[in-house]
Structure formats: C-alpha cells, structure tokens
Amino acid sequence: NQKVAAAYDYKIVEGVLIHQLNKFVVDGNKVLLSVPGPDTRVDDTKFQEN
C-alpha cells in the first residue's frame, strides 16, 4: 500500500477498511486495513485471484 501511494504522491487515510465484494454482498467477511492505527485491527486473510 505504502509503495503504491508514494508512487502517485497519495496520502493514505488511517482507519479505512476495504471489504471483499461478492454478488449481492457489499461488505464481505474478508477485510483489508489501509493504515493500521492503535485502535484498529483486522484478522490476517488471503485473497485469491479473480
């Protein structure tokens, strides 16, 4: 995340969650945390291609 943001001169905001999208499900169980903060934590997970 940090390398891509630096390449585009972009600042990542703390506390933003990125959810896995499925058909008819907007916020799936798998979550990415853009910038971890002291009060935020998500479980480790693996995503598959496609």
Each residue's pLDDT tens digit, 1-50: 678 888 999 888 777 777 887 888 877 777 777 777 777 777 777 777 76
Is this structure's pTM higher than 0.85? no
**What do you get for the CA distance between the two ends of the chain, in Å?**
20
State which amino acid sits at residue 13.
V
Nearest CA to 18 out of 37, 6, 35 is that of 35
Asked whether 23 and 34 are in contact (CB, 8 A), the reply is no
Residue extents of the structural domains in the chain: 2-33
Neighbours of 42 (CB within 10 A): 12
Looking at residue 1, its pLDDT comes to 65
Q: Which of 15, 22, 23 is nearest to 42 (CA)?
A: 15
Task: Report the alpha-carbon distance of residue 18 to residue 39 in Å, rounded.
Answer: 17
